[in-house]
Structure 1
Amino acid sequence: MSAPASRPALRGPSRLEKAEGWRAPGQDAGWLNPVTERFLLLLLVRKELRVRYRGSVLGMVWSYVKPAVQFVVFYIALGVFLQLQKDTPAYAVYLFSGIVAVNLFGEVFGNATRSITGNAPLVSKIYLPSQLFPWSSMIVALVHFLPQLVVLVVGALLFGWVPSGTAAVAFVLGLVILLVFTMGLGMLGAALNAAFRDVENFVDLIVMVATWLSPVLYRIAMVEEAIGGTWMWWLYQLNPLTIVVELFHVAFWRYGPDVVERAATDPSLTQPGEPFGLWWAGLLIAAVTFVAGTVVFERSKRRFAQEL
């Protein structure tokens, strides 16, 4: 009687498979998933864009409509009725550069928070690295940000703005701080929203309040005049969104010809710590927020399927 055939021994990944990034099913690269799974990330971005504009007549034109309406309402209410344009040269550029920054913050934060619950069928039925969902929401927000940025640049050029190295550095710093900070908040919000659906409503409130607690509609000199020298003034300055909005102002408004001319006689048009202010504090706070959000997301992701 012949001996039964032995089962082939299970083996681990070979050196070649390890070199090619071999992973067992159900495992992922953690916070590096957006880099290692670029193809899947691109598919999710395309899916979100198609779903968002399915049945829409205007499509991407809506990327212009919301900021345009915001700008017109705020400009008429604050610039014309409250006469803020008299004390702020090129107020239209000042206002729109802040609106663009806050809109990007709101879209990334809101979409990332809803990314897990909004993709519940994918999260609960098949395996996909969960980090791809908030990251794809961030990329979609950047797609909508680009048309607004083009309008802002054109508007600034019409007011005599000339691109410079200082403007480029301020814009890049502001964008990096904004994306790192908001993605940290977004991943934290996504993890909490999977368990508590009330979180997305709090996010909407935060975005609304952030518009008024940042120097978007008014100049920061007005805040310093009201609460300068107090702990509230320092807290206001350390708000990462305040730092980002001020960097966008430096990039597109502060060094326009009308502003430079008026600033020679009106020191209130200058900004604390010009030209880049507290960028280092904003970057540090953004990095800490990103790490905290990533850690909470990583620890929560295995419960997403059950919670959904």
Structure 2
Amino acid sequence: MVSPGHSAGLRDVVGSRFLLKLLVDKEIKVRYRGSVLGLLWSYVKPAVQFVVFYIALGIFLGLEQSERNPAGLPNYAIYLFSGIVLINFFTEALSNASRSIVTNGGLIKKIYLPRQLFPVSAIWVSGIHFLPQMVILVVACLLTGWTPSVLQLGTAVLGFLIVALLATGLGLIFGAVNVYFRDAENFVDMLLMVATWASPVLYAWTMVRDQLGQTALQIYLLNPLTIGVESFHFAFWMPTAEQTQGLPPSFLSVWVPIGLVVSILVVLLGQLLFSRLEGRFAQEL
């Protein structure tokens, strides 16, 4: 017997695809209600972020390879943007998923529907915003001679899956905890502030190895975000750069599978915690 207010977990999301579509449509409409640019903000925000980071890090701090700085990263613009699009997906997905239950409190108190739909719909909305940025990235890569292999494209898909699963699992955890402790929102904000710098979005992974040593690099690679970002670099940046620093040792054979396993474990943990807490959502809200 299933207790009232409980669901079958993420399996109910699969069986409620129509409701999921309605929630995604609602989120898109509400977010851009009264907006002049609407979905174009999906292009504007990452573009501004890219320009700021590129000027500050690529030019001022010398991370872009040039005649005066041969030790920099070649084609740094592609390197930077390929990391930004993925980390932006993660930050938006987790931020919205962690607030999704509280934000939809009025609906949750009125009717019953699988509560996992709310964090999952937040992930899907972030995926919709991710697509226009990917289009820009692919076009930029093509203009710089992008000729990826099947292995590289497959690794990019796995990298995105790792990050999407991580965002889903953490979204379930913080979405549920936020109902009881609103401090969870502030914790997520701090976590997301660190996320960009805790993965090789703005700098090369070799800097971690050179400055902190091999042991620190192993710990650094346990972060699924690091695996996802480096997977995107492998797929989009490396085919456009004549000389690169290469992948971390055993990246494809060891670290990508580890990143996938870690993200799946986070989803399972998130589902377990969500199921334990969802019974009192309506009362707490």
Q: What's the TM-score, normalizing by structure 2? A: 0.93
Q: Name the CA shift for 1:221/1:50 in 2 (closer, same or farther; >3 Å).
A: same
Please list every run of 5 or more consecutive structure 2 residues that lacks an aligned counterpart in the other structure.
Answer: 66-71
* One-letter amino acid matched to 2:276: R
Alignment of 1:192-231 (within 5 A): 192-230=177-215
* Cα shift readout 1:206-255 (whole Å, capped 9, x = no counterpart): 1110101110000111111001223x322111111111100010010112
Shift of 1:275: 6.1
Question: Partner of 1:61: helix, strand, or coil?
Answer: helix
Checking the alignment, whether the CA contact within 8 Å between 1:156 and 1:252 is kept in structure 2 is yes
Asked whether the 8 Å contact 1:221–1:271 carries over to 2, the reply is no
The CA deviation string for residues 143-166 of structure 1, in whole angstroms up to 9 with x for no partner, is 000000000101111111113202
CA distance in 2, matches of 1:134, 1:34: 10
1:159 and 2:144 correspond: yes
Q: Secondary structure of 1:56's partner?
A: coil
Unaligned runs of 5+ in 1: 1-22, 264-268
**Percent identity (aligned):** 53
Cα distance in 2, alignment partners of residues 307 and 47 from structure 1: 24
Distance, in Å, in 2 between the alignment partners of 1:278 and 1:306 is 43
Deviations 1:184-218 (A, max 9, x none): 00100001001111101111111110101110000
Q: Does 1:140 align with 2:125?
A: yes
Contact 1:115 1:137 in 2 (8 A): yes
Name the CA distance, whole Å, in 1 between partners of 2:230 and 2:243: 18
Give the 3-state SS of the residue equivalent to 2:131 in structure 1. helix
1:172 match: 157
Q: RMSD across aligned C-alpha pairs, in angstroms?
A: 1.6
Q: Aligned to 1:80, which of 52, 55, 59?
A: 59
Cα distance in 2 for residues equivalent to 1:210 and 1:166? 27
Q: Which residue of 2 aligns with 1:9?
A: none
Cα displacement (A) at 1:287: 0.9
Moved more, 163-172 or 238-247: 163-172
Q: Note the alpha carbon deviations across 1:1-33, whole angstroms, 9 max, x for none.
A: xxxxxxxxxxxxxxxxxxxxxx99966432211
Q: How far 1:125 moved relative to its partner?
A: 1.5
- If the length of structure 1 is used for normalisation, what is the TM-score? 0.87
**Change in CA separation of 1:120 and 1:155 when aligned onto 2, cut-off 3 Å:** same
